[in-house]
Structure 1
Amino acid sequence: MEAEVYDLRGLNCPLPVLKARKKLAEAAAGTRLWVETTDPLAVIDMPNFCLTEGHRLIETISVEGGHRFHIERG
């Protein structure tokens, strides 16, 4: 399944989660999204966000300078 890449690099907490929340709220259930971030707290924030909002965190990848989160809207 294809997933859009949502580039949130350069933004710090809480903006990556807030922007990801808005983007996913506008999407249909089952939509997948790659969220890219350089915020070091995102490794804590994104999994918690997915858990509390009912989304599925499919994969987390460490990349140079940050992380990528593959999320499926619940």
Structure 2
Amino acid sequence: MSNENEVTVDARGKVCPVPVLETAKAARLAKPGQVIKVIATDPAAKQDLVNWARVTNNELLSVEENNDAVVVRIRVKGKL
């Protein structure tokens, strides 16, 4: 199901720092309140994305691990 308030960043198969860089790009294009859903397979991406949300003052909504991927949802609080 598609949600117009949610943007998906598919970073599967990409390694650090690409998942964070693609998330940052999506956040710059997002409107405040939009949610970025990041799907990544790099084991480092989970902690990198959690840290990125914290240092950029965006809201970490959830972190889920599904098989070999991590799905992180972050709500954009404002323009970067």
TM range (shorter): over 0.9
Q: Determine helix, strand or coil for the equivalent of 1:58.
A: strand
TM-score (norm 1): 0.92
Q: 2 CA distance for matches of 1:6 and 1:64?
A: 18
How many equivalent pairs are there? 74
| Secondary structure in 2 matching 1:47 | helix
Partner in structure 1 of residue 10 of structure 2: 7
Aligned to 1:27: 30
1:45 lines up with 2:48 in the alignment: yes
Q: Distance in 2 between matches of 1:61 and 1:33?
A: 14
AA matched with 1:46: L
Q: Give structure 2 stretches of 5+ with no counterpart.
A: none
Distance 2:76 2:30 in 1: 7
Identity %: 27
Question: 5+ unaligned residues in a row in structure 1: which ranges?
Answer: none
Deviations along 1:9-54, one digit per CA (max 9) or x if unpaired, are 0100000001100111111111112100001001210010000011
Distance 1:31 1:2, change over 3 A: closer
Cα RMSD after superposing both structures? 1.3
- Give the secondary structure class of the aligned counterpart of 2:32: coil
Q: Secondary structure at the match of 1:20?
A: helix
For 1:29, the aligned partner's letter is P
Moved segments of 4+, more than 4 Å: none
